[in-house]
Structure 1
Amino acid sequence: MKTIILFVTFLALSSSSLAADETETEFHYRKGEEADPSKWSTIKKEWRICGTGKRQSPIDLSPKIARVVHNSTELIETYYKPVVATLQNRGYDIMVSWEDDAGKVVINKTDYKLVQSHWHAPSEHFLNGERLAMELHMVHKSKEGHLAVIGVLFREGKPNAFISRIMDKINSIADIQGGKASIGKIDPREFGWDLTKFYEYSGSLTTPPCTEDVIWTIINKVGTVSREQIVSVVDARRGGFEANARPAQPLYRRTVYLNEQSTPSEH
């Protein structure tokens, strides 16, 4: 199965062989302490861009700062399939990874293979000035090492169906940093995206080394997640990662697109 939607052309991004799942962990999020987000750029010289970069993520998204595009002439294609997946407590987040090829997105004729997914609570991206309860990142990587991340935002409300399915597994590894649990076959489509309207911009990893080599697609439609689910995901993190959201970064001169599609098609 593939889903085809329209996409705005981005400028070529600088190359990077570092995927988001290879991020260092010598940092945390406790404001005012030695390794908080405002100090990431001083911890290692390789992380300097966290403070000096002009294309850093996350950002505050709103129609006011976006160029609205209707039915653009460029394409994103998604090709996903169910594959056995593993849940892992990485200490700074909870990650789902697939044991085999679970599919890809194709952006501007470039393939980006699905690498992993993980959650941030609260959300990293703001929507209309508001930080939401949670954010899902679906991380993809091209064979050249470039990254494409699809982000989904959630408000507190009704339980999220996918998280409900794996809640017992999350709780089973909550106290085990590095702990893993098999969660059976997972189809990436189960995360439930609505790709009729979405923001697009060029940015960075939201954790050190903050590499500026990421195509971001943030879904405009906001999902829901229950308080119990938020607590469960947050409780699985320790040592300064309980609230694993980087502050919003300056936009500088970047263009943000708000892509509205009237007739997205599925095949």
Structure 2
Amino acid sequence: MNTIILFVTFLALSSSSLAADQDGTEFHYKSGEVADPSKWSSIKAEWKICGTGKRQSPIDLSPKIARIVHNATEILQTHYEPAEAILKNRGFDMKVKWEVHAGKIVINGTGYELIQSHWHAPSEHFLNGQRLAMELHMVHKNEEGHLAVIGILFREGAPNAFISRIMDKINQIADIQDGEVSIGKIDPRDFGWDLKTFYEYRGSLTTPPCTEDVMWTIINKVGTVSRQQIDALTDARRGGYEKNARPAQPLNGRLVYLNEESTLPPN
């Protein structure tokens, strides 16, 4: 029993906002484990919302549940710039963290500074009922501490250009818990995505404490990632975190917007 407790408390969180700065966790993803997603709400009193909340994430996205809008320039603007970054192996995911200001997004007039990015495999959000091969989360925070996360989905296929660019760095620290390596100046736009069409909804962290204080933007255009790249990122995770995706959560009548505008102003 002591071995199980030590093992669980050693594992670390891997999702949208707490993943911004914290690494310790007491939960798991594997079904049947002592702290799997179905048990998160009972592990700690402050995690109760994981089971009782009505705005939990991730969800299954499709045009059927969305309200179509055409005001991208009013909803979301990006203001990114290249900045020095590091790659860190947290044991449960690979994280790109900028060492200095790398820009921000502006949602409905509120600025959210980019904090870090990390990958989930398989994807956390579903698209038209399908869970895809991988999802990248770009985590932003405003001055009040509220979060905005851009999610980019990938299916298995051709190699992802950005991951190819840093593959040697991923391999360099793949077996080093908390290993870090510089990856030079990284422009957040280098991840390979666009904002021509995107879903937006209000949800939660996808890990405990599951706080319902996240503005989610999920890019509708799906990218590709190779099997070798998926394996490189998942093999770097340990202790059952090879798959670090929370199950889809009920919509509970929330509004989901699908913005189909095709152009945005230059940064």
**TM-score normalised to structure 2 length:** 0.91
Match of 1:209 in 2: 209
Mean CA deviation greater in 67-76 or 241-250: 67-76
SS of corresponding position for 2:221: coil
Equivalences for 1:167-182 in 2 at 5 Å? 167-182=167-182
Residues 65 and 256 in structure 2, CA contact (< 8 A), matched pair in contact too? yes
Counterpart of 2:232 in structure 1 is 232
Moved more, 83-92 or 223-232: 83-92
Which residue of structure 2 lines up, in the alignment, with residue 83 of structure 1?
A: 83
Partner in structure 2 of residue 57 of structure 1: 57
Change (3 A) 1:18 1:126: closer
Residue ranges of structure 1 left out of the alignment (5+ in a row) = 1-16
Q: Which amino acid aligns with 1:92?
A: F
Correspondence for 1:13: none
2:66 pairs with 1:66: yes
1:245 lines up with 2:245 in the alignment: yes
- TM-aligned CA deviation for residue 161 of structure 1: 0.3
1:18 positional shift: 5.8
Paired residues for 1:1-267 under 5 Å? 20-22=20-22, 24-71=24-71, 74-267=74-267
Shift in Å, 1:90: 1.2
Alpha-carbon shift at residue 75 of structure 1 (Å): 3.3
Q: Distance in 2 between the 1:92 and 1:235 partners? A: 10
Q: Tell me the matched-pair count.
A: 251
Q: Relative to structure 1, is the Cα distance of residues 23 and 173 closer, same or farther in structure 2, using a 3 angstrom cutoff? A: closer
Q: C-alpha distance in 1, partners of 2:111/2:24? A: 26
Q: Structure 2: state its 5+ residue gaps.
A: 1-16
In the TM superposition, residue 260 of structure 1 has moved relative to its aligned partner by 0.7
Q: Distance in 1 between matches of 2:126 and 2:34?
A: 25
Q: Considering fraction of residues, name the structure with more strand.
A: 1
Rate the CA distance shift 1:236–1:102 in 2: closer, same or farther, 3 A: same
Please give the per-residue CA displacement for 1:16-67, whole angstroms capped at 9, x wherever unaligned.
x967433642111110111111111111112111111111000000001111
Aligned partners of 1:187, 1:134: CA distance in 2, in Å? 21
Give the Cα separation in 1 of the matches to 2:125 and 2:144. Answer: 26
- Conserved in 2, the CA contact under 8 Å of 1:18 and 1:145? no
Deviations 1:152-185 (A, max 9, x none): 0000000000000111111111111211111111
Higher deviation after alignment, 158-167 or 38-47: 38-47
1:241 CA drift (Å):
0.8
SS in structure 2 opposite 1:74? helix
**The residue matched to 2:75 in structure 1 has which SS?**
strand
Show the counterpart of 2:5.
none
AA at the equivalent of 2:239: G
CA distance in 2, matches of 1:159, 1:215: 29
Q: What is the alpha-carbon distance in structure 1 between the residues aligned to residue 47 and residue 24 of structure 2?
A: 10
**1:143 & 1:93 partners in 2: Cα distance?**
26
Q: 1:30 to 1:226 in 2, by over 3 A?
A: same
SS for the counterpart of 2:248 is: coil
Q: Which fold has the larger relative contact order, with Cα–Cα distance below 8 Å and residues 6 or more apart in sequence? A: 1
CA distance in structure 2 between the aligned counterparts of 1:60 and 1:214, rounded to whole angstroms: 16
Q: Kindly indicate whether the alpha-carbon contact (under 8 Å) linking 1:147 and 1:213 is maintained by their aligned counterparts in 2.
A: yes
Q: Aligned AA for 2:206?
A: T
TM-score (norm 1): 0.91
Following TM superposition, by how much is the alpha carbon of 1:263 offset from its aligned partner in structure 2, in angstroms? 3.0
Q: Indicate if the aligned counterparts of 2:85 and 2:184 stay in contact, CA closer than 8 A.
A: yes
Between the aligned partners of 2:23 and 2:252, the Cα distance in structure 1 is: 25
1:45 maps to amino acid: A
Structure 1 residue 72, shift from structure 2 partner: 5.6
Distance 2:155 2:211 in 1: 28
- Amino acid across the alignment from 2:107: I
